[in-house]
Amino acid sequence: MQILHSNGFTEEEINEKKAIVYNNLVTSMCTILKAMDNVLHIPLEDSEKEVRS
Give residue limits of the domains in the chain: 7-41
Residue 53: what pLDDT? 53
Question: Is 27 within 8 Å of 34 (Cβ atoms)?
Answer: no
List pLDDT tens digits, range 6-23. 677 888 988 988 999 999
Q: Based on C-alpha coordinates, what's the Rg of the chain?
A: 19
pLDDT band at 31 (very low <50, low <70, confident <90, very high): very high
DSSP 3-state percent helix, strand, coil across the chain (nearest 5): 70, 0, 30
Q: Give pTM, 2 decimals.
A: 0.62
